[in-house]
Amino acid sequence: MGILRAGSVCWLFHVLVLVCALCQILYVGSVGAQTAQLSVDASPQNAQVIPGNMFGIFFEEINHAGAGGLWAELVSNRGFEAGGPNTPSNIDPWLIIGDESNIIVATDRSSCFAGNPIALRMEVHCETTGTNACPSGGVGIYNPGYWGMNIERRKVYRATMYIKSSESVELTVSLTSSDGLQNLASHTITGDKEDFVEWTKVELDLESIGRNTNSRLQLTTTKSGIIWFDQVSLMPSDTYMGHGFRKDLAFMLANLKPRFLKFPGGNYVMGNYLVNAFRWSETVGPWEERPGHFNDAWAYWTDDGLGFFEFLQLAEDLGACPVWVVNDGASLNEEVPTATIAAFVKDVVNGIEFARGDPQTAWGSVRAAMGHPEPFQLYYVSIGNQECSKYYYKDNYMKFYSAIKASYPDITIISSCDRSAISPVNPADLYDVHVYTSSGDMFSRSRMFDNTVRSGPKAIVSEYAVTGNDAGRGTLIAALAEAAFLIGLERNSDVVEMASCAPLFVNDNDRRWNPDAIVFNSWQHYGCPNYWMLHFFKDSSGAALHPSTIQLSNYDQLVTSAITWNNSQDGNTYLKIKVVNFGSKAVNLNISVTGLETDIQTFGSIKTVLTSGWLRDENSFQQPDKVVPAASPITNAGKQMGVVLDSYSLTSFDLLLGSSQTLHSVSGSSLHSSL
């Protein structure tokens, strides 16, 4: 037997220490490990079909979501109406180039548009040459848009404006940096004295030679005289589906595959006062003739370029059913009594005629003139916004209900009252539910509809969000709580028809509400964790819901559902199992699937996880992908399989069924695109 040397003894000691440490780790792991059993009955006879329009989106004009956001118009206050009807008025954010010695601007009521009479008068005192020469580059006005215009290299922008002058015109239209020093594109408008005596529409294309994310539109001249401007617009030529929507933001919506679009808002529809409510008929027709209105609910002006027609068009472009929230004669501070509500009722019926009427009808002809002779598929109308407690709501509601059903019996009418207030004398097809609460309470509301009576009108949960301290600007824990809530809606989809989160968008420069699903500025955007959470549900509408039960003692932090869905892109069918682990412990999950009429394929199944290192982790412009789903192939896919659930996570297992198109390899890029 050999003799152990000192070095060998030292080496053996370190090995023993390492072994002991590993044993301790394994022991602690085995003691702390949670093992759960998940049983899924995937038999077709026990499946329940989830409503085809279950998951959609709700758009409200809040946080500059539309004006300066989804609607691609780059000019803010393009008609100079934001300062009100009295003149002179504030023209913010327009500013002058030059000073009072060579230029004076003021609003007056000289516009050629009766609905928006304000125009801008620009009086230039300097000359092209001589002792009273204008500054280099001329004098004029500029518009910075909504916290800067994003002008991209080689992109084309359509500038439109109305001009009037009693003298010859030499006006340069330019896209420049915010300080005016970098010229990105320019075009000079010239005309004789007779050319602009009357209001004249001028349209031109500007192609940028560079990029600047904080640009402005400027109108300058070196010629003395007076020029009037009105309805000055700048639109990118490249918009979503060619219909005026900012492409990157619209793609974020399209990627959710929403089955409905509820619009144009909640409080935005009502206004603090009726004078500032959303009036659909004033938002249709040529954009130049729309008066715009002050969004007093959220304290900013909107030119109503994003109007009733555009919302209907957006729904069609997204393949979503439009859900119109109508003003029913109530604002946050006022209410029209039932005795005088008839005009409001007629206005709503007219709005439905605009959307669905034959081109020969009065309002259908307006839609047709806007380029859409075919009717929009409007079959959902929501009467008001959270107004059931108002004194006249129920009586007024019945006026709307009766008139709409008389002309359009196939319209689904949504009541602001809860289920308990609906009766044969106060009927409704659906009732609206709003849920704003803490993450803990939202998680517990996964059982909110478990004991609901299974007959009668169904719910549309059109607004839900985690709010409060743990919501931040969109945290992981908020997204997980909302995921558990949505799983509860899936499991109760026999009494819940539709669901959408709120708010949808926020311009980072105007945060009126936190959190929101999508954050943007003039040139960037990112999805918050709850936006990425919604991707786990985009295949649920119209899918088959299967009974599932989970067993785990002393740990009530798991919520699950199971659906079968068809992938339209590859024709494959998947069994999707979703699990929220809302607790601090990892869980070993044993999954048992019975009732399948086909096998689960060995290859082609995908596991997707939404989690992060800290409960309050958020995404940002600096780290837009900090909390996003991560996908990987499942190597042990089968009817009996063991998996691990991370603490504080949302996990889906998409198990490929059948043998028609087995995916033999799954790349990381294809996994990400599947989201």
The residue with tokens 């602009």 is: 196
Q: How confident is the model at residue 570 (pLDDT cuts 50, 70, 90)?
A: confident
* Separation between Cα atoms, residue 41 and residue 549, nearest integer Å: 9
Tell me what the mean pLDDT of segment 274-301 comes to: 97
pTM of the model: 0.92
Q: How confident is the model at residue 260 (pLDDT cuts 50, 70, 90)?
A: very high
pLDDT of residue 669: 32
pLDDT of residue 622: 98
Structure tokens at 474: 């969109």
- Return the SS3 of 13: helix
pLDDT of residue 659: 57
Supply the mean pLDDT for the chain: 92
**DSSP E strand stretches across 338-444:** 380-383, 412-415, 430-437
pLDDT of residue 503: 96
Tell me what the mean pLDDT of segment 344-353 comes to: 98
- Percentage of the chain beyond pLDDT 90 is 90
**Distance of alpha carbon 441 from the chain centroid:** 24
Tell me what the mean pLDDT of segment 341-363 comes to: 98
Q: How many CB atoms lie within 10 A of CB 387?
A: 24
Q: Which CATH number fits domain 95-236: 2.10.109.10, 2.60.120.620, 3.40.50.720, 2.60.120.260?
A: 2.60.120.260
Q: For 447-471, b where at least 16 C-beta lie within 10 A, e where not — what string?
A: ebbeeeeeeebbbbbbbbbbbeebb
Closest Cα partner for 239 from 229, 226, 252, 249?
249
Tell me what the mean pLDDT of segment 268-294 comes to: 97
Q: What is the DSSP letter of 560?
A: E
Q: Which residues contact 387 (CB under 8 A, 6 or more apart)?
A: 270, 328, 330, 393, 416
Pairing between β-strand 119-124 and β-strand 225-236 as defined by DSSP bridges = antiparallel
User: Residue type for 3, please?
Assistant: I
* Separation between Cα atoms, residue 315 and residue 264, nearest integer Å: 12
Q: How many CB atoms lie within 10 A of CB 538?
A: 15
Q: Which residues contact 86 (CB under 8 A, 6 or more apart)?
A: none
Q: Residues 4-55: pLDDT tens digits?
A: 333 333 333 343 333 333 333 332 333 356 899 999 999 999 999 999 999 9
**Distance of alpha carbon 65 from the chain centroid:** 8
Tell me what the mean pLDDT of segment 513-527 comes to: 97
pLDDT above 50: residue 508: yes
Q: 179 with 142: CB under 8 angstroms?
A: no
pLDDT of residue 32: 54
Q: Residues 224-243: pLDDT tens digits?
A: 999 999 999 999 999 999 99
Q: 565 with 576: CB under 8 angstroms?
A: yes
User: Residue type for 193, please?
Assistant: K
Closest Cα partner for 459 from 512, 411, 414?
414
- Angle at CA 339, nearest 5°, toward 333 and 345? 75
Closest Cα partner for 322 from 405, 248, 262?
262
Structure tokens at 581: 């682990």
Q: Residues 160-218: pLDDT tens digits?
A: 999 999 899 999 999 999 999 999 999 999 999 899 999 999 999 999 999 999 999 99
Q: Residues 651-663: pLDDT tens digits?
A: 999 999 985 433 3
| Helix or strand holding residue 11 (H, E) | helix 6-32
Closest Cα partner for 563 from 541, 582, 533?
541
Q: 463 with 436: CB under 8 angstroms?
A: yes
pLDDT of residue 19: 37
Closest Cα partner for 595 from 45, 43, 38, 47?
43
The full DSSP string for 599-638 is PBPSSS-EEEEE--SSTT-B--SSSTTSS--EEEE-TT-S
pLDDT of residue 568: 86
In the chain, domain spans: 95-236
pLDDT above 90: residue 396: yes
